[in-house]
Amino acid sequence: MVCIADNELGITRLGASSTTRLGNAAERNRAKRLVREAFRLSKDKLPHSADIVVLPKIPWQNPSLEELKIELPDTARRAKAELARRV
């Protein structure tokens, strides 16, 4: 799940969170590390001036970093478009 909000800082920021339903601490940390790395590698494809919060979907299916690099910008753009429609 991706939540997005505009910010006035001119930069895109990421927050990653997970629940205990995702698994033990090692699994939760791995999920957050993968999301942070996908964010770092695809930062130029993400909406600018946005705060993005990612909550890994349950059940976590251990996607590869390549899959996350593709999915994160697409999902963030859809969330940004939805935010623009609501405002």
pLDDT of residue 59: 77
Structure tokens at 75: 């999902």
pLDDT of residue 62: 81
Phi-psi region of 74 (alpha: psi -120 to 50; beta: other; left: phi over 0): alpha
List, for residues 42-64, the tens digit of each pLDDT value: 989 988 888 999 988 777 788 88
| 40 has a pLDDT exceeding 90 | yes
Helices and strands counted in the chain (H then E): 2, 3
DSSP E strand boundaries for 1-87: 2-6, 13-16, 50-54
Structure tokens at 57: 């979907």
Rounded to the nearest integer, the mean pLDDT of the chain is 88
Task: Work out the average pLDDT over 23-41.
Answer: 92
Sorted by where each starts, the structural domains of the chain and their CATH numbers stand as 2-86 (3.30.230.10)
Task: Work out the average pLDDT over 25-32.
Answer: 91
